[in-house]
Amino acid sequence: MRTKLAVSMAGLLLLAAVPVLAHHSFASEYDSNKPITLKGTVKHFDWVNPHSRLFIDVKDDNGKVVEWELETANVTSLQRRGWKPTSLKPGDAVIITGFRAKDGSNLAAARTVSTGDGKKLFVGSPDDGSPSQQQ
């Protein structure tokens, strides 16, 4: 009986650790020496854990529309800052500051989002490589 209990507890601990193992650090994917500002239009906002994702259309230097993916903080952190799943809707104009992915793709860790009505919201995580945290 004790053996079954021990094996069951070990299995539960391993299952609980899987999401933690899948999580990454800011420094492994993003470059704090490559800040970026993007002006675009919201395509969609995925309100998910471990990090919500924002997808925007941005015109590049040649006028071509390019999709960018922006990682934000987790749902709980966003809620504490006043965010809701409906805070950003398709078609909303936004200006985003953040840090570019190390691989040069159209991926960035978002830091702030400024909306068309002038509201500026912090969306980054505390370990996003910034020298200071705005709230």
Q: pLDDT tens digits, residue range 103-127?
A: 999 999 999 999 988 888 888 755 5
In this predicted model, what pLDDT tens digit does every residue of 7-59 receive, in sequence order? 455 444 444 444 444 455 666 789 989 999 999 999 999 999 988 999 999 99
What number of other Cβ atoms are within 10 A of residue 41's Cβ? 15
Distance (Å, rounded) from C-alpha 55 to C-alpha 135? 23
**pLDDT at position 131:** 47
Domains along the sequence of the chain with CATH: 25-122 (2.40.50.140)
Q: Which residues have C-beta within 8 Å of that of residue 9, sequence separation ≥ 6?
A: none
Q: Do 37 and 97 touch, CB atoms closer than 8 A?
A: yes
**pLDDT at position 116:** 87
Q: How far is CA 18 from CA 14, 21, 122, in A?
A: 7, 5, 28
